Amino acid sequence: MSNLSRNSVAAILVMLLAGTVSFAQSSGEATYKTKCQMCHGEKGLADSGAGKSMKVKPATDPDVKKMSEAQMIDAVRNGSGKMQPYKDKLTDAQIKDAVEYFRTFTK
């Protein structure tokens, strides 16, 4: 096996592990990275391919910045626009932690 494909196998394994581990821990960062980052971007700027194609607003957008934590939790629990509801997929604690992590990008 070449080094390149060995590295990609390792990377896939790490991603699978990270996905499983995030259920066990309540770290907002881990939840954000596995569940939210693909659309909202590493720094909340929605600069990923999916974020751009779904026209996700960056965390620094005035409309996003003015939202309270409770409003954001509500958007994630019940869905917002093209974002699916997460209330059946994540616990309330996981949603709150992920939103708190997302809010660090609005500052």
Nearest distance in Å: CB 15, ligand HEC: 15
Q: Which residues contact 48 (CB under 8 A, 6 or more apart)?
A: 37, 38, 39, 40, 41, 42
Distance CA 43, CA 30 (A): 13
- Mask of contacts with ligand HEC, 40-69, x by CB under 6 A? x---------x---x-xx------x--x--
- Asked whether position 80 contacts ligand HEC by CB under 6 A, the answer is yes
Out of 4, 81, 88, 107, the residue judged to bind ligand HEC by CB under 6 A: 81
Task: Give me the residue label for tokens 């974002």.
Answer: 83
Which one, of 48, 50, 47, 81, lies nearest residue 63 by Cα? 81
The count of other CB atoms within 10 Å of the CB of residue 31 is 26
Nearest distance in Å: CB 99, ligand HEC: 5
Size of the site for ligand HEC (CB under 6 A): 22
Binding site for ligand HEC (CB under 6 A): 35-36, 38-40, 50, 54, 56-57, 64, 67, 72, 75-76, 80-83, 86, 98-99, 102
